[in-house]
Chains A and B, each alone.
Chain A
Amino acid sequence: MVASRGKNSNPARIPALGIRLLLLVLISIGLMYLDHRENHLDAARKAIGAAVYPIQLIVDAPVRLWAWLSESTTSRGDLQLEVDRLNAERLLTNARLQRLTALEAENARLRALLDARSRVRDEVRVAEIMAVDANPYEHNLIIDIGSRDGVYDGQAIVSADGVVGQVIKTGLMTSQAVLISDTDHALPVEINRNGLRTIAVGTGEIDRLDLPFLPNNADIRAGDLLVTSGLGGAFPAGYPVAVVDAVTRIPQEPFANVTAKPSAALDQVREVMLIWSAAPVIEEQDDE
């Protein structure tokens, strides 16, 4: 340190800088250890998260404002078109729903006959995705409800089209969720057509999932719908996850190459639903 001997020697001397650094480094390592092993630090995380919340709100505000502006300045013709479309859609959905009520009743009767526990309807709540980027190395998003509203870690998130992801870190007012396309995410699924169970693993690409554990002779083909099997415990059974788009069988390899496209548009959803599973989701499916 030649520079510190300059004529302006006072500001160069920062007292005990090295010791302070050492202390902070040790504290950081301790914190990381505690955070990584178990969730001992949830309270601290929530406290700091509450301080960050206003900043997240400000960052989110322009996007919200833009949405509000474009909503309130749509022309009458556009609105009319939208209303027509929604009406048509509602008619269709209603027609389908009529059948569903009958089927649900029938299902309950049959289950009662089989002496199986009947499925309880899941409770859902709509959450909005905040326009805030989180960890750049993972596929995740931030939603605008938190533990104050009863959100818990591991909770399933779906959109109107299919499974989106699950909550990984619950804050007080916001929560962080991981998408099913994240490389660290694996989801127990079954093929809707024949009940074949497997696991859908995220690839890091927003529109592709991998099914790495299917043998070459597995009965699966492009166009098959994958739904959650409910086996992992986190997701209730029966929600659509993805549609198989390519099956490549290589005779030398033990497993087939199967990729699927998530049903939900993971990068376009703005509103999602959080599911509170009322009943234990592991049902009688787990025996062969």
Chain B
Amino acid sequence: MSRHRASRRLPVIGTLVVGLMLSIMPLPDTIAPFRPDWLALLTIFWAMQLPRTWSVGSAWIVGLILDVSYGTLLGQHALALCVIVFITVRFHLLMRVFPLSQLTATVFAMLALYQFLLFWINGVAGLAAPAAAYWAPAVTGTLIWPFLYMFLTGVRYRARVGG
């Protein structure tokens, strides 16, 4: 069992590391505001597929790492991520049987919630936040989700992760 567990975690950690790289990769100023929240998408996927191994705790740690690399308030992304992962884990069985279109709509709602939480925390802390640009990642994240979903499903079966 423990041998299985190690091999089960590796691909997930791998995708998360790549996701973090994509999140801090330099982009031209014009498209940088449209950068999707890779780590939010990845944690939603893995929480949906492996809710027992990847749940709120791991999402929280991922969020802390994101906070440090973005230099935001320590706990801001952590809070937002663990809330959306909580919802994902609660409804993971439902989400697994959703057709892709419906799943994408759900993901959009969750990304919007995620952005809202970040936005709201910034507001409470009194930090300036450009309102319009805040919502762009939710839209681009939704557009990318179907492709990411298919890709990650491939990764999952190739690596025979969990199940």
Contact at A35–B57, with CB atoms within 8 Å? no
Residues in chain B near residue A11, CB distance under 8 A: 51-52, 93
Contact at B93–A58, with CB atoms within 8 Å? no
Asked whether A136 and B69 contact (CB < 8 A) given A11-B51, A32-B121, the answer is no
Contact at A32–B52, with CB atoms within 8 Å? no
**A106 located at the interface, meaning its Cβ lies under 8 Å from any Cβ of chain B in the complex:** no
Contact at A184–B76, with CB atoms within 8 Å? no
Residues in chain B near residue A68, CB distance under 8 A: none
Nearest Cβ in chain B — how far from A144, in angstroms? 14
Residues in chain B near residue A267, CB distance under 8 A: 29
1/0 per residue, CB under 8 A from B, across A1-21: the answer is: 111101010011010011011
Which residue from chain A places its CB closest to the CB of B119 in the assembled complex? A137
Within 8 A of A (CB), among B121-137: 121-122, 125, 127-130, 133-134
Asked whether A32 and B25 contact (CB < 8 A) given A21-B83, A52-B69, A184-B128, the answer is no
| Number of residues of chain A lying within 8 A (CB) of chain B | 53
Which residue from chain B places its CB closest to the CB of A182 in the assembled complex? B128
From DSSP, what is the main secondary structure of chain B's interface residues? helix
Which residue from chain B places its CB closest to the CB of A184 in the assembled complex? B128
Asked whether A20 and B25 contact (CB < 8 A) given A32-B76, A41-B74, A52-B69, the answer is no
Residues in chain B near residue A6, CB distance under 8 A: 93
Residues in chain A near residue B70, CB distance under 8 A: 134-136
**B138 located at the interface, meaning its Cβ lies under 8 Å from any Cβ of chain A in the complex:** no
A15 to B150 CA separation, bound complex (whole angstroms): 29
* Segment at the interface with A among B1-9, B16-24, B101-109: B16-24
Asked whether A48 and B65 contact (CB < 8 A) given A25-B83, A55-B17, A59-B25, the answer is yes
Contact at B35–A20, with CB atoms within 8 Å? no
Within 8 A of B (CB), among A128-186: 131-138, 140, 168-169, 176, 183-184
A162 to B74 CA separation, bound complex (whole angstroms): 32
Residues in chain A near residue B65, CB distance under 8 A: 48, 51-52
Contact at A17–B90, with CB atoms within 8 Å? yes
Name the one of A17, A48, A52, A176 contacting B55, with C-beta atoms under 8 angstroms. A17
Residues in chain B near residue A59, CB distance under 8 A: 21, 24-26
Contact at A14–B89, with CB atoms within 8 Å? yes
Asked whether A28 and B71 contact (CB < 8 A) given A11-B51, A136-B33, A267-B29, the answer is no
**B155 located at the interface, meaning its Cβ lies under 8 Å from any Cβ of chain A in the complex:** no
Nearest Cβ in chain A — how far from B86, in angstroms? 4
Contact at A27–B75, with CB atoms within 8 Å? yes
**B144 located at the interface, meaning its Cβ lies under 8 Å from any Cβ of chain A in the complex:** no
A168 to B103 CA separation, bound complex (whole angstroms): 40
Contact at A20–B90, with CB atoms within 8 Å? no
12 A-B pairs besides A59-B25, A133-B24 with CB distance below 8 A are A12-B93, A17-B55, A17-B86, A20-B57, A21-B86, A28-B75, A30-B75, A55-B69, A132-B69, A137-B133, A140-B71, A267-B29
Residues on A close to B: CB < 8 A? 1-4, 6, 8, 11-12, 14, 17-18, 20-21, 24-25, 27-32, 34-36, 41, 44-45, 48-49, 51-52, 55-56, 58-59, 63, 131-138, 140, 168-169, 176, 183-184, 204, 206, 267
Residues on B close to A: CB < 8 A? 17, 20-21, 24-27, 29, 32-33, 35, 51-52, 55-57, 60, 63-65, 68-76, 78-79, 82-83, 86, 89-94, 97, 121-122, 125, 127-130, 133-134
